[in-house]
Structure 1
């Protein structure tokens, strides 16, 4: 089933979250700032010197892991673990990436950083075809999205993983709510198009 999600592909950054390169939750404490400077000097450091080379990313993550292991707990932990997860995901190590992102969620991140962590997890689940997990992660993002338009866009993005996870009825109900109540006309129109597509495929299957 081809679902046209061009609108949703714009992500929710425009209405809910700034670009992922922005250091959400970055430290202000002097000791933590010193730690961050040490991190930023690392070879292939994922915080500043972004790279697509898997080996450099693995080295950088190893350096960050050593830093965390040798330090007492700090507000910086969630921020570092988030970037470790992002780097591991870009190195093709999805399982390890998700584990680090889970650790970041458990390290008391700010709401803005929590939203970034969940978004990264959702993207990895999408790439790994983990439809159910992607849907649940997107659902967890909803309470953190303040903009009505951003929330509608996020909910519209849930439709594909819901269908792939086999919850067609719930997906249809969500589309109906978006068609009737979404803040953006573009979301309402797109939801109606998806409803029509789903109804067509349902009718075709009954013939």
Structure 2
């Protein structure tokens, strides 16, 4: 999993932070990834370690202002990918979801004004935010729609839902995807991914959808 923290520090001390979680596996550029905030599937210990590492980096670099750190997380093993001493595009997104203006706080810090730590936590929110990317593949001839480490998105949307699924569905519809009426193609990857798709495929079939699939998937689903 790829996770990130958007934070504001004052003379090396973290004033406020927001931890978000990428839906896609690591390897997709963060500018193209679908991001959920608050995180829905992170272990408590992972969150604790992310906060600890962020505090240590902020202190070591004596950061005053905005910063963004990206992590790789597998089980509870955390690796830092990069630390950027600037605002990321997660800043406006988490600010809106948390209803706390990160940029205003960062600006006041950089101007030398006294800033108190806000008494707000992402883990008390009763809704979920999704930031999804907008792509223009359909407008470009011979464009390769497979995502990788180079950024390909041309815009993004932020959506809020009562739960993860509602927020994702709103976001996907907002960037131009349509809900299929009768047929759907599944390309699911390895055995583990096929297993994760199983319940979804059963639901689609029960709803009357005709499910098409690539290579090994029809045999797996049939079994």
TM normalised by structure 2 equals 0.29
Q: Give 1 or 2: higher strand fraction.
A: 2
Q: Give 1 or 2: higher helix fraction.
A: 1
